[in-house]
Amino acid sequence: MYVLVGVGLLSALTCVFSRKNFTVELKPRTEFAEYGDRIEYDVAVSKKGFCFLPFIEIKICGSAEAVVQTSLLFRRQAVVTGSYKAERSGMNTITAQSAALRDFWSIVRLRTAVSETALIAVTPRPMEYSGPEVVMKTLPSEDEEAEEGRSVMSGGLPGYEHREYSPGDSLRRINYKLSAKKRRLMVRLDESNGLASTNLLIAESGLSECCDLAFALARQLVMRGGTVKIFHTGDSITAATPETLAKMREWLAFRYYGNNETDGELQEEDSPTAEMPDVIFSGAGEVQVVAQ
């Protein structure tokens, strides 16, 4: 009896003395994922000085919620793998929030706070736009004197920069007058023409659903031959071709959504400084088409 009591007491004491002598580290196996992917991450628990913990449960919260179990007996480090399905666009946050410690005899159960966070960027959810109809802004007129001139960025005139047609380009972008002159198909690079872009604003109140809807609308308009510019928290990106649309998709994956508690209406800080939005996405996917 005395031996059992002594062993139990020793087990409890070693657990108590070990409770602060370990560290937890989250190691995502990827920093970028497609929506719907299974994302794996490693939880590394390491000793720091004297540590003898038979049972450890790490609680994972945030975009992923799970409990992973391991132990630290006669090894310096233990690594256990967890995973979750990416079902939220934008920057996903996973946090090791707390650790539950238990000795051999389950006499002592301790809970200690852990603060370790990891970030994973997730692309917008693939979907068809089903919100209010948006009228695409017109492209530069065919009657313009088309030249292979410089872009606006380099001091040229808007709508005058062209390149040779590539498979996947919208047929609406083909400038037939210039194509006949050059004897090869030429398409406009209208991303240099801010006046031709349809401006989409994801409000700071917007959740990840706004990211999904905004990209679905942007893709629809670009495939029809339009130019789209998306604003979010003071930054913006423009897409007018399949290549730039792919860059926009990646840019949206690395954004934070729904960080501020706002009422869902257009706030002064949400508004672009020089270009007013044509469509506003706020809340959990509310869509407002602004009358121009």
Q: Tell me the per-residue pLDDT of 53-94, one tens digit each, with 9 for 90 and over.
A: 889 999 999 888 899 999 888 889 999 999 999 999 999 999
Strand 77-85 and strand 162-164: pairing? unpaired
Q: How far apart are CA 7 and CA 104, in angstroms?
A: 10
Domain ranges across the chain: 19-122, 191-289
pTM of the model: 0.74
What integer pLDDT is reported at residue 265 of this predicted model?
A: 44
What's the confidence (pLDDT) of residue 194?
42
Provide the pLDDT for residue 54: 86
CATH number of 19-122: 2.60.40.10
CA atoms within 13 A on the CB side of 289: 9
How far apart are alpha carbons 263 and 282 in whole angstroms? 9
Residue ranges of the chain with per-residue pLDDT less than 70? 1-8, 138-161, 170, 189-196, 259-274, 291-292
Is 283 in contact with 206 (CB distance < 8 Å)?
yes
pLDDT for 173 = 73
